[in-house]
Structure 1
Amino acid sequence: MKRILPLLLTLVMAQPLGAHPHVFIDTGLTLAFGPEGRLQRVKVIWIYDAFYSLLITQDMDLDQDGDGLLNPDEKAQLTGFDMQWVEGFNGDLVITQEGQELALSGPQDVTATFVEGQIVTTHWRDVTQDTAGSGTYEVTPYDASYYTAYEVTLPVEILGADQCRSRIAMPDITADLDALRQELFALDRQAQPEDAGLPNIGAKFADKVVVTCASS
């Protein structure tokens, strides 16, 4: 991700973790189709790992009483903390339709909560290029640098399209891919994977949601 405060970067780098990834996010998706069968919006749910959630809440001085609950002001402060995207950032989400990447809006209808020590955020994104309304979609949440590891462990819902079915395609960890992962983990903390000849490395380890829609 490209939204982390400098203080958090320092804290994470001080931990005894492998070089990559640093942040772990359980992910869920809702795909909303319109009346003509075209994909119109996608809702993204992120549940941050407990350690990263702790760093965020400490840095923002939230939950100072340690009861695991946020008051309304704290919740308002937390909402949108991860939505300050730099220009050109794709939101760590790629959607293709029959192999053609679809354009997505920025985040909308943002929410944030704090549940059992973990930050949970949601946002919606408009899909602006779906013209077919049928065929196969691939929805892939991933960080190209693999700083953040996304795993689709939460439900995938489809709204407004009974003709569509989804399945999760997990990466096939072959011997070659496992060797690549060990090479990645051996990198110096300050090194960027692309500088070590490993561009777009996150895509190789990404869960992919495959949605197949029959013609109406």
Structure 2
Amino acid sequence: MRWLITLLTCCLPIPVMAHPHVFIDTGLEFIVDEAGQLTHVRVTWAYDEFYSLLVLEDMKLDQDADGILTTAEESRLTGFDAQWVEGYNGDLVLTAGDVPVVLSRPQEPRATTEDGRIVTSHLRKVEGGSVPANALSAKAFDETFYTAYELTRPVTVSGPVSCLVERFDPDIDGQLAQMQAFLRTLDADYDLEENDIPLVGENFATEIRLSCPDT
């Protein structure tokens, strides 16, 4: 999806448009119990090289620039992206039978580096205990599209029951065509920021559907 920034800034009729500034390779682990109920979701984020460099420099970590953190440095880095403002959904939307699934704030944060990239994970508990994992849908996205999430890391299910995981990737070309058509309707001096940038993040999000048997 990193090619999107080129298309959005070079190929659209006006230069002011929402496009990603941070790219995150994402992984999801759905944790279910013996009754096929979802109890937790573990989220993994691997930040792009440039953003990782900015964070490490700002926090004065990896001073020898070998891309490997010491145990003390990992401890300092852990939780840097888990200090969420009230109401932030973690850029993860879950629904069960079209009913929103409410998740806790991040727990058990972890952080390290892989080839110079920051990789973090956190655990989120289903509020209220659990929900049936049948007809469960999950999407990782930033609705403003400032951050682009790509589900390139493993998507797994952990628990005593077998579950079916299905992946539905977005129609990138179709979404770009719709965005271009919308922009062509605007005057050249139209200020998207003053008039609300279209919230397009979900349009480019991969959907994961989970089906676990009731027991």
Aligned position for 1:42: 41
- In 1: Cα distance, 2:86 partner to 2:127 partner: 18
Unaligned runs of 5+ in 1: 1-17
1:119–1:213: structure 2 CA closer, same or farther, 3 Å change rule? same
The 5-angstrom pairing of residues 107-186 of structure 1 reads 107-129=106-128, 133-175=132-174, 177-182=175-180
1:58 counterpart SS class: helix
Tell me if structure 1 keeps the 8 A contact 2:66–2:116. Answer: no
Tell me if structure 1 keeps the 8 A contact 2:137–2:210. Answer: yes
1:113 counterpart SS class: strand
Aligned position for 2:103: 104
How far apart are 1:19 and its partner, in Å? 4.8
Say how many residue pairs are matched: 193
Deviations 1:68-115 (A, max 9, x none): 111222111111111111000001111100111111000001000011
TM-score by length of 2: 0.81
How far apart are 1:192 and its partner, in Å? 4.5
Tell me if structure 2 keeps the 8 A contact 1:97–1:130. Answer: no
- In 2: Cα distance, 1:62 partner to 1:19 partner: 31
Deviations 1:28-82 (A, max 9, x none): 1111112322100000001001111111111111111112111222111111111
Tell me if structure 2 keeps the 8 A contact 1:145–1:193. Answer: no
Aligned position for 1:11: none
- In 2: Cα distance, 1:50 partner to 1:75 partner: 17
Aligned position for 1:14: none
- In 2: Cα distance, 1:194 partner to 1:105 partner: 33
Tell me if structure 2 keeps the 8 A contact 1:112–1:121. Answer: yes
1:74 counterpart SS class: helix
Tell me if structure 1 keeps the 8 A contact 2:33–2:161. Answer: no
Please tell me the residue identity of whatever aligns with 2:116. G
How far apart are 1:194 and its partner, in Å? 7.3
Aligned position for 1:81: 80
1:130–1:194: structure 2 CA closer, same or farther, 3 Å change rule? farther
Please tell me the residue identity of whatever aligns with 1:145. T
1:22–1:82: structure 2 CA closer, same or farther, 3 Å change rule? same
TM-score by length of 1: 0.81
1:141–1:132: structure 2 CA closer, same or farther, 3 Å change rule? closer
Please tell me the residue identity of whatever aligns with 2:122. H
Structure with the greater alpha carbon radius of gyration: 2
Please tell me the residue identity of whatever aligns with 1:21. P
How far apart are 1:161 and its partner, in Å? 4.8
- In 1: Cα distance, 2:194 partner to 2:201 partner: 10
Please tell me the residue identity of whatever aligns with 2:43. V
Unaligned runs of 5+ in 2: 1-16
How far apart are 1:122 and its partner, in Å? 0.4
1:131–1:113: structure 2 CA closer, same or farther, 3 Å change rule? closer
Please tell me the residue identity of whatever aligns with 1:56. V
- In 2: Cα distance, 1:77 partner to 1:69 partner: 14
Aligned position for 2:196: 195
